[in-house]
Structure 1
Amino acid sequence: MATFLFCFAVLYASMSTLQVLSSNPDPVRDFCVADLDYPQLNEYPCKPYANVTIDDFVFSGLLTPADPSLGPSGTSVTPAFVETFPGLHTQGFAFARLDFVEGGLIPPHTHPRASEFVYITRGRLYAGFIDTANRAFARVYSKGEVMIFPRGLIHWQLNVGEGPASAFAVLNSEKPGFQTIAPSMFGSGVAEEVLQKAFRLDEQACRRVCSHR
C-alpha cells in the first residue's frame, strides 16, 4: 500500500509539469464531471452540479489488476480514463495500471494526443521509444524508476525480469488515443504491395503476416 500511495504521489506531483504541455485546453470552471449518460460525439456534457458527489473524484479500479495472463501478449492495462473516472473530465490527464506476466509485452504503439509518464512498482522492464530520426532510446528499468515517452512517438514495454511486473502510467490528455503499430498496418486492408515494399518482405513472408489480425 505504501508503494501504491508513493506511486500516486509521484504521478500527482508530475501534473504541474505535464499540464503545461497538455494537449487539452485549460478548464474554464472548477470542474466538469462527465455526464456519461449523455455522450455528444467525442465529448461529454457536465453533470448537473447538484448531482456531483465526492465519488465522482475517486477511482478505486487501479487497486486490483486485471489478469495479465488472459491478454494475447501477457499483459493487462487497467485504465482510469474519463469513461470510468468521470471526475477527470477537462482536467487534462488520465491514468492506467500496467501488469505483465514474465515475458509479457505491451507492443510498439503510440498515443497521438499525449505524452506518457510511467513509474515501475514491481519487476524490470525493457522499455523505450523511437524518435523521428529513427533513433531508439531504450534500456532496462527497475522498480522505483520513472520513464517518459514523448507525445506521439512509438514506444513499448517488455517484462525482462523473473516473475511478474507492474507499473503505473499517467498521460497528459483525458483522451490520449492508442494505436498499435502492427495491427494498424497488417490485417487492416492495406494493399500487400505496400506492405511488401515498406517492410521489405518477399511474397511468401507477406502471405504469412500481411493478413494477420
Structure 2
Amino acid sequence: MALSYYSVVFMALALSAPLAVLAGDPDILTDFIIPQNLGAENITGAFFTYTGFRPMFNMNMSMPMPSFMVAKASMAEFPALNGQSVSYAMLMFQPDSVNPTHTHPRSAELLLVVDGALSVGFVDTAGKLYTQDLDTGDMFVFPKGIVHWQYNKGTKAATAFSAFGSASAGLVSVPVTVFGTGIDDTVLAKSFKTDVPTVQKLKAALTPPPKKAHDASTAETSKLQNLTTIKSHLTTLQSFSVIVFLTMAALNSLSILAFALLALSAPLAVVAGDPDILTDFVVPEPVLGIPFNVTGDYFTFHGFRGSFNRSAPPHESFNVTKASVAEFPALNGQSVSYAALSFPPGSVNPTHTHPRASELLLLLRGALAVGFVDTAGKLYTQDLAAGDMFVFPKGTVHWQCNQGSGPAFALSGFGSAAAGLVSVPVTVFGTGIDDTVLAKSFKTDVPTVQKLKAALTPPPKTA
C-alpha cells in the first residue's frame, strides 16, 4: 500500500520530535572520540589530561591582574571532552569584581567557592530574582539558560570552580550581546524605554574592538571547518533519508504505526544526558498541602564547607563527599553534580564506574596517579599535579591513587545530577553472586573467591 502524505509527515515528526525534548550533549557509541589528526595508536593517558589550569594555581593573587579572570576547560581547550558531556571553568575574582550577567544556553552551572566569598544570583523566566551569599565550600546551581552573575563584594580575592553538564556549555554575555553587536539604536532605545544617546553611550563602552586580520583568517578557517562538518552531516542525513524512504515504501498502514512508535522511542537510546525539564528548575512537592517556598537557599549547598576547612583533622582513609540530587535536591533536572575527594597518603579510590556520566576530575592539592580501562581493554594512566584535570569516559572502570607522602584533594564534576556509582570489588564479590560463577569467571578456585568475599561483603544492616 502506498503511503499517504500525512503518513510521511507523521513519521518525519516522530523521528525528529524526541530530539527537541532531551537534554545533554549527543551520546557517543564509543568510549571517547579520537580526533581526525590522531590515530588510535597515538592515544595515551596524556590525551585525557588537561594542564591548562596549572598557571592559575601558581598565580599570586596579590599581584596586579584583571579584576575578573576565567580559565575554561571545555571541548575547545580540552578535545578529550568531546562526547563526554562535562566541562569546567576556573573563576578568579579580585575584590569588588563581577562576572557580568550572562547565560549558558546548553547547560546548568554548578559553582563551588573554594576560597573567599561571593554574592550570586539569577533571574528565572518568570522574572523572579534569587540571590545568595556564599562562603568557602558553598555551592550554588544556576539553571540552564537563565541570566545569572557572581560578585565579589568583599575585601579579599575569591576563587571558584564551575562544572557544566556539557562539553560546550556556551556563553552569552548579556551586556555585550545586547549593546556590542550592532543592534539598531532605535530598536534598543524602544526595547529599553530610553533614548538613543543613552544607547550609544552603552554601545561605546561595550562594543568590542575590530578583529585583526589574523582573527579574520582564523574565523574563515573555522567557517570552512564547520562547512566541512555540515557537509559530512548532510551526506549522512541524505543516506539516512534514502533508507527511510525505501523502508517507508514497503510499509503498510499497520507497519506505519509500529515504525512511528519505534522512531519515537529509538532516539532515547542514543541521546545523552538527564531528561530535560520544561521549567527553569524543579520545585519540590507540597508538604501537607503547603507549597514549597523557593528562595536562594534552595539553590545553595553547604555540605562541602568541611572539605575546605584546613584546620579539621585529616581523613585516615579515602573519603568522598557528594553533591548529587540526593544531597542537593535543586540539582533535579540540571544535569550536573559534584564530588569532593580526599586522599590521605597511600589511599585509593577503588576501581569503579559511573553508569550515567563521565567524570572530570580536577586536582586541587597534592598529586594523584589515575587511570581507566576502555571497552577494548586498553589501559590509560597518568600522573597528575595540582591544577591538572583528567576525564574518565562514562561507564569505564577507573580509579585514583595517592602514591605521594602528603594528602591530596580533588573535585569531580559529572554531566548528570545522579551519575551513579558501581564499585567493582563490592559489586562482584560483596553482593552474593554464586561462588562457582565467580570462580569460573575469574579462572580461580572457590576458596580464593570466598577469601575475597569475606573481605568485601558489607556487614549486615542493623534493624
- The residue number in structure 2 matching 1:135 is 378
- The residue number in structure 1 matching 2:293 is 51
- AA in 1 matched with 2:323: A
CA distance in 2, matches of 1:19, 1:149: 19
The 5 A counterparts of 1:26-175 are 26-35=276-285, 48=291, 51-65=293-307, 68-69=315-316, 74-175=317-418
Contact 1:123/1:162, CA 8 A, preserved across alignment: no
Say if 1:127 and 1:83 are closer, same or farther in 2 by CA, change over 3 A: same
Contact 2:165/2:414, CA 8 A, preserved across alignment: no
- What CA deviation, in whole Å up to 9, does each residue of 1:33-69 have, x standing for no partner? 445969xxxxxxxx94x61010111112112129531
Q: More displaced, 198-207 or 101-110?
A: 198-207
Contact 2:165/2:416, CA 8 A, preserved across alignment: no
- What CA deviation, in whole Å up to 9, does each residue of 1:127-169 have, x standing for no partner? 1111111111112111100011111111111111221100001
Contact 1:129/1:153, CA 8 A, preserved across alignment: yes
CA distance in 1, matches of 2:419, 2:449: 32
Say if 1:141 and 1:134 are closer, same or farther in 2 by CA, change over 3 A: same
Say if 1:145 and 1:33 are closer, same or farther in 2 by CA, change over 3 A: farther
Say if 1:35 and 1:197 are closer, same or farther in 2 by CA, change over 3 A: same
Q: Higher Cα Rg: structure 1 or 2? A: 2
CA distance in 1, matches of 2:395, 2:433: 22
Contact 1:36/1:83, CA 8 A, preserved across alignment: no
**Which structure 2 segments of 5+ residues have no match?**
1-114, 117-135, 138-157, 171-270, 458-463
CA distance in 1, matches of 2:409, 2:286: 29
Correspondence for 2:273 among 23, 43, 52: 23
- What CA deviation, in whole Å up to 9, does each residue of 1:62-116 have, x standing for no partner? 12129531xxxx1111111122212211001111100011111110001111111
The alignment status of 1:8 with 2:161, answered yes or no, reads yes
- The residue number in structure 2 matching 1:44 is none
TM-score (norm 1): 0.82
CA distance in 1, matches of 2:165, 2:439: 43
Say if 1:203 and 1:32 are closer, same or farther in 2 by CA, change over 3 A: closer
CA distance in 2, matches of 1:83, 1:156: 23
- AA in 1 matched with 2:434: A
Say if 1:184 and 1:32 are closer, same or farther in 2 by CA, change over 3 A: same
> How far is 1:16 from its partner?
4.0
The alignment status of 1:198 with 2:441, answered yes or no, reads yes
TM-score (norm 2): 0.39
What percentage of residue pairs aligned between the two structures are identical? 35
Contact 2:339/2:412, CA 8 A, preserved across alignment: yes
CA distance in 1, matches of 2:287, 2:454: 38
Q: More displaced, 198-207 or 179-188?
A: 198-207
Matched residue SS, 2:441: helix
- The residue number in structure 1 matching 2:432 is 189
Greater share of helix residues, 1 or 2?
2
Q: How many residues align?
A: 197
- What CA deviation, in whole Å up to 9, does each residue of 1:6-52 have, x standing for no partner? 4514x3xx4442679752022211111445969xxxxxxxx94x610
Say if 1:26 and 1:207 are closer, same or farther in 2 by CA, change over 3 A: closer
**Which structure 1 segments of 5+ residues have no match?**
39-46
- AA in 2 matched with 1:30: D
- AA in 2 matched with 1:111: H
